[in-house]
Structure 1
């Protein structure tokens, strides 16, 4: 790597979010010429990590539960993109600890800009009505910690909040045994629920590199990572028109949806509340759709970037 370049360290480099950040960096000539990229992965020897090296990315190993390894990984970095995976351990405490370890490492290494993959605090947003969405609250608590601690070195912190993945839709469409029709059944209102959809692979990085481009102006900002807002009915219609195969949307009670999951009860409760958060609070808050423009400025900060519509995602991925 050229010593003349700034260094950005990307966690989860072989995953959806980290991989998207790397792709967006490499796709923007001004940024690609500015940054040397380190890709943090649990196993730098695996084939997916070696593919990073082929793109000019340096694969490095770090353990989210080992503060010393994290400090080593980010030392010398101007910027860091960090993401954790609650579902690895399904422990709110563990994810919070891992996230705070990353924040502490960035402060210790005097990193200039941290972009943290966060989510809203569902318990606070709903005044305790939806208190079990741990994978939201854990990330939100790390955001609060970063905002509290960043003044120690003047660290800039931007909080990227990924919306509902477009990638999750296809697997939830099933044949209705009574009618034989492909049906998308969820506890959302067909024409009223505002569903924030994100192509997690294609569009995460566009928001993140926009934040890096804006620099200090992105400090303290919370980004709604949305590719397109649609109602469930509009999404089902888009799927039908794009694929040529009819898909209908059917609203069902959340209890019925939970019973279909082959998962432990505590997971059913958490994921069910996650869907209610979308239905009743627009995922990011009741006024979130009207505020989307405040987040899309990050995409527009890099010339040529464009978000993915659901129809475009289907045409590219629905084989």
Structure 2
């Protein structure tokens, strides 16, 4: 571990340090042969994950970075060479709030003179689809923040988040379901050829942030597209069945059947539905390839098969 307190080392401030992405960033920087000072931001520094990072040399700071708290944001960004920012739309389902907080954080980092600002963005689906899919707020809000960051003048890198490998393991509407004959079925409103940039986020997302920091090919104005493996939904189901030894089939279902199966409120189910339809029609990254973004990673990423082998599926495939 190369986390240090030496003042000569660059200071990286990591938001959401106890979450999937922020925690992955800290772990990836700790793996580097370059020394970093790390300041981890979270609302609750008494969480087990926060205490673990503190024990490993991370300066943990408790702070609430809401849109009306710009003064605290500037304070925690002061002296930072690097800031990694992520926002959590799913925590409150309020895209207006997410965008306001994202813009405030960019402004605060600029005012603090941050040298490199790395943002976990997503595509603006409403723009890419020419308005066909307007309700995917967790993408569209981040797309709006991305454009604001690019216009802000701050040294800005967009490290987009790929498709979480854990979605088929923990999301009710995407888990395989047990059928009456004892076999399993994964049913989604898209075809099996739908290609997704699947990533084991806690294990691998931080590698791409480290790449954006350390690789000269990337830098202010660049974009990094994260993916452990680009793989079709059909191949994901086939590999899941082969590795777990369970009989699992795939079925394309109608939109209404999917929305009901999610068990989510109608507005949220519609958002998830539209995101999947967009991925099939336009591509997760709007047709852009992930090849260049994987070229300079410090170590190999996990494939979907690697994730399946490392995960306990007993609660899903019981």
TM-score by length of 1: 0.91
What is the alpha-carbon distance in structure 1 between the residues aligned to residue 167 and residue 177 of structure 2? Answer: 16
Distance 1:201 1:248 in 2: 28
Higher helix share: 1
State whether residues 191 and 280 of structure 2, in contact with CA within 8 Å, keep that contact through their aligned partners in structure 1: yes
Q: Are 2:70 and 2:108, in contact at CA under 8 Å, matched by a contact in 1?
A: yes
Q: Report whether the alignment pairs 1:227 with 2:234.
A: no
Task: Go from structure 1 to structure 2 and tell me whether the alpha carbon gap of 1:130 and 1:62 turns closer, same or farther (over 3 Å shift).
Answer: same
Structure 1 counterpart SS, 2:251: strand
Match of 2:165? 166
Pairwise CA RMSD: 1.5
CA distance in 2, matches of 1:216, 1:206: 15
* 2:7 matches 1:6: no
- Aligned to 1:258, the other structure's residue is in SS state helix
Deviations 1:9-35 (A, max 9, x none): 0001000000000011111222xx2x1
**How far does residue 136 in structure 1 lie from its aligned partner after superposition?**
0.6
Gaps of 5+ in 2: 314-318
> In 2, distance between residues paired with 1:29 and 1:189?
43
Give the 3-state SS of the residue equivalent to 1:218 in structure 2: coil
Answer yes or no: is the 8 Å Cα contact 1:156–1:216 preserved in 2: no
* Gaps in structure 1 of 5+ consecutive residues: none
State how far apart, in whole Å, the 1-side matches of 2:149 and 2:202 are: 25
Q: Within 5 Å, which residues of 2 pair with 1:294-309?
A: 294-297=292-295, 300-302=296-298, 305-309=299-303
Structure 2 residue corresponding to 1:109, chosen from 107, 112, 115: 112
* 2:152 aligned residue (149, 154, 168): 149
Structure 2 CA distance for partners of 1:77 and 1:216, relative to 1, 3 Å: farther
CA distance in 1, matches of 2:217, 2:247: 47
C-alpha contact (below 8 Å) 1:197/1:226 kept by paired residues: yes
Which secondary structure state, in structure 1, belongs to the residue aligned with residue 291 of structure 2? helix
Q: Would you say the 8 A contact 1:117–1:160 is kept in 2? A: yes
From 23, 32, 46, the counterpart of 2:27: 23
TM-score by length of 2: 0.92
- Structure 1 position 158, deviation (Å): 0.8
Structure 1's 198 and 101: CA in aligned 2 closer, same or farther, altered over 3 A? same
Task: Answer whether contact 2:176 2:248 (CA < 8 A) is retained.
Answer: no
Equivalenced residues, count: 304
Which of 287, 302, 311 pairs up with 1:317? 311
Kindly indicate whether the alpha-carbon contact (under 8 Å) linking 1:173 and 1:182 is maintained by their aligned counterparts in 2.
no
Return the alpha-carbon distance in structure 2 between the equivalents of residues 201 and 301 of structure 1. Answer: 15
Is 1:266 the equivalent of 2:267? yes
Shift of 1:274: 0.9
> How far apart are residue 275 of structure 1 and its match?
0.9
Residue 97 of structure 1: how far off its partner (Å): 0.7
1:195-230 Cα offsets, whole Å, 9 max, x none, are: 221111111100000001036842212222111111
In structure 1, the residue matched to 2:185 is 183
C-alpha displacement of 1:269:
1.0
Alpha-carbon distance between aligned partners in 1 of 2:177 and 2:98, rounded to the nearest angstrom: 36
CA distance in structure 2 between the partners assigned to 1:282 and 1:46 by the alignment: 37
**Is the CA contact 2:160–2:226 (under 8 Å) kept in the aligned structure 1?**
yes
Please state how far the C-alpha of 1:176 moved relative to its aligned partner. Answer: 4.2
